[in-house]
């Protein structure tokens, strides 16, 4: 399945369709339908052992996650990336509505962004919409979006029962 990134469409929907220099906070959204029930897709986000199997870009060879999955709880993801070494991100959960939505802030190093993940039930499938806001520039947005889409591709394989 091909994930769709719609940062331009999303920014227009939110009324921020112009890049306004360094103060612009460009949103990015990725969405697709997954062939799995919503509860199963949500579980892949809330349980460390599932996240460690699919999170990170395609060059991620190992990921170690510590997480306290509750509102106000925090997480740390340490990724080992081929050719880049170790990269660690940290964050805090702002809102959790099981099995519908997860909202969190994540410190990526050069920026802290707000991520909203929506799980929309569509029969035996789930529409997943991931929106990330707070990018200081389009280049960082593009880099993070690519890694996010690669991770979501691995999630799709995991849910289909394929080895990731």
- The pTM of this model reads 0.83
In 10 A of CB 163, how many CB atoms? 6
**What's the pLDDT at 153?**
92
CB 67 within 8 A of CB 73: yes
122 vs 10, which has greater pLDDT?
122
Q: What's the chain's Rg over C-alpha atoms?
A: 15
pLDDT score of 57 more than 80: yes
148: enclosing H helix or E strand:
helix 138-159
Among residues of the chain, what percentage have pLDDT more than 70?
81
64: which strand partners?
78
Q: What is the pLDDT of residues 69-81, one digit of tens each?
A: 999 999 999 999 9
Determine the Cα–Cα distance for residues 128 and 151; give it in Å rounded to an integer.
13
The CATH number for 25-159, chosen from 1.10.287.890, 3.30.530.20, 3.30.565.10, 3.90.420.10, is 3.30.530.20
**What's the pLDDT at 18?**
26
Q: What is the pLDDT of residues 18-48, one digit of tens each?
A: 222 233 344 557 788 899 999 999 999 999 9
Q: What is the pLDDT of residues 111-138, one digit of tens each?
A: 999 999 999 999 999 999 999 999 998 9
**What's the pLDDT at 30?**
75
Determine the Cα–Cα distance for residues 87 and 29; give it in Å rounded to an integer.
23
14: three-class secondary structure by DSSP: coil
Determine the Cα–Cα distance for residues 46 and 102; give it in Å rounded to an integer.
9
**What's the pLDDT at 28?**
59
Per-residue DSSP letters for 82-93?
Answer: TTTEEEEEEEEE
pLDDT score of 10 more than 60: no
Determine the Cα–Cα distance for residues 9 and 28; give it in Å rounded to an integer.
9
């Amino acid at each position: 399945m091909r994930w769709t990134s719609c940062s331009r469409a999303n920014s227009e929907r939110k009324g921020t369709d112009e890049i306004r220099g360094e103060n612009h906070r460009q949103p990015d959204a990725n969405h697709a339908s997954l062939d799995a029930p919503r509860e199963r897709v949500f579980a892949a986000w809330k349980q460390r052992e599932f996240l460690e199997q699919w999170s990170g870009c395609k060059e991620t060879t190992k990921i170690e996650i510590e997480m306290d999955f509750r509102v106000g709880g925090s997480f740390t993801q340490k990724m080992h990336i081929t050719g880049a070494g170790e990269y660690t991100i940290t964050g805090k959960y702002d809102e959790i509505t099981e099995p519908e939505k997860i909202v969190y802030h994540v410190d990526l190093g050069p920026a802290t962004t707000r991520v909203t993940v929506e799980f929309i039930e569509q029969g035996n499938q789930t529409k997943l919409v991931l929106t990330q806001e707070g990018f200081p520039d389009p280049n960082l947005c593009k880099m993070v979006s690519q890694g996010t889409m690669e991770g979501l591709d691995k999630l799709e394989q995991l849910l289909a029962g394929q080895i990731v």
